[in-house]
Amino acid sequence: MIASKQRNTNHDAIASIYDLKSLLERHDIVLEFIDKLILKNIPEGAHIFDLGCGTGQIAQRLLKRGYQVTGLDSSEAMLNVASENAPDAKFILDDARFFKLPPTFHAVISTDVVLNYILSIDELKNALQNVYDALLDNGIFAFELYIEELCELDWQNNQSSGGVKDDNVWVDIWSYDTENKIGRKDTTIFQLVNGLWQRSDRSFFLKAYSATDVKLALEQVGFKEISMFEVKEDFGVDKAFENVCFICRKQLDCTSS
């Protein structure tokens, strides 16, 4: 399969309400397990790459702890909000599947199941390779992911959720293609603009990868010390985190003297 080098800009439509939709408490929970898995194993003031940084909520929290942060997202509208939330971070407009950076970072993180929006295993490998290339030797990569074994039942049940704020109303409805293992989230948003309610509709697609396929892809790229944690079970999170966290390292360059 040949990847199209067009950025996925679908999240532009929800950038203005993203921080309303996602409970900010969630970001604090995410930072807790980033702390356990990564921050205790990298130098103070290390450079962290936030892949799929969205509105910069995690970047903001890492900056407050004294880390250097570079974030990447395919949505320009998301990055505009991120620049307000985390003005001291550097942000790059690009796609996880296609970006190219030299070995720069002590750690790479990817939260909010960003990599599930990549819909083929070949393109997922491209993204993993790009991360590998951007890490310093012995650098750490940790990312959240929905995996087939945990998420399929929820997606098949056509769950819905929504919210109401002063100027925004939204609803998300899930469905699932069992043959292709693709979850679909249909989002309808009503926003009050200049005294009038405006409606927009977007569909988001997420691939349910198996844990085995993800581990194999990481190994093929070259990552070592691969571990997987169930966020709810292994980190004692009571909230609705039906996802896992993978953590791995870039192998040391044995050819350098």
Q: Is there a single domain that holds both residue 41 and residue 113?
A: yes
pLDDT digits (tens, 9 = 90+) for 101-118: 999 999 999 998 999 999
Q: Indicate if the pLDDT at residue 16 is higher than 90.
A: no
Could you tell me the CATH number of the domain that includes residue 123?
A: 3.40.50.150
Q: Is there a single domain that holds both residue 179 and residue 243?
A: no
Could you tell me the CATH number of the domain that includes residue 169?
A: 2.20.25.110
Query: Residue type for 69, please?
Result: V
For the chain, what percent of residues have pLDDT higher than 70? 87
pLDDT given for residue 1 in this prediction: 27
Q: In whole angstroms, what is the distance from residue 197 CA to residue 67 CA?
A: 41
Q: Is there a single domain that holds both residue 202 and residue 213?
A: no
* More reliable by pLDDT, 35 or 218: 218
Q: Is there a single domain that holds both residue 159 and residue 188?
A: yes
Lowest mean pLDDT among 81-95, 129-143, 188-202: 188-202
Q: Give the pair of three-digit tokens for residue 78.
A: 């998301």
Q: 56 is in which domain, residue-wise? A: 10-147+209-250
Q: Indicate if the pLDDT at residue 174 is higher than 60.
A: yes
pLDDT digits (tens, 9 = 90+) for 55-84: 999 999 999 999 999 999 999 999 999 999
The mean pLDDT of 176-195, rounded to a whole number, is 91
Q: Is there a single domain that holds both residue 50 and residue 95?
A: yes
Q: For residue 189, what are the β-bridge partners?
A: 170, 200
Strands 244-250 and 135-145: antiparallel
Q: Is there a single domain that holds both residue 187 and residue 117?
A: no
Gap between the terminal Cα atoms of the chain:
38
The mean pLDDT of 112-139, rounded to a whole number, is 96
Within-domain flag for 176: yes
Q: In whole angstroms, what is the distance from residue 175 CA to residue 184 CA?
A: 5
Q: How many CA atoms lie within 13 A of 41 on its CB side?
A: 16
Within-domain flag for 14: yes
Q: Please report the sign of the dihedral spanned by the C-alpha atoms of residue 111, residue 112, residue 113, residue 117.
A: negative
pLDDT given for residue 36 in this prediction: 84
Q: Specify the number of domains making up the chain.
A: 2
The mean pLDDT of 138-164, rounded to a whole number, is 83
Q: Is there a single domain that holds both residue 190 and residue 142?
A: no
Q: Is there a single domain that holds both residue 187 and residue 214?
A: no
Q: Where are the beta strands (DSSP E) in the chain?
A: 47-51, 68-73, 90-93, 105-110, 135-145, 160-164, 168-177, 182-193, 196-207, 223-230, 244-250
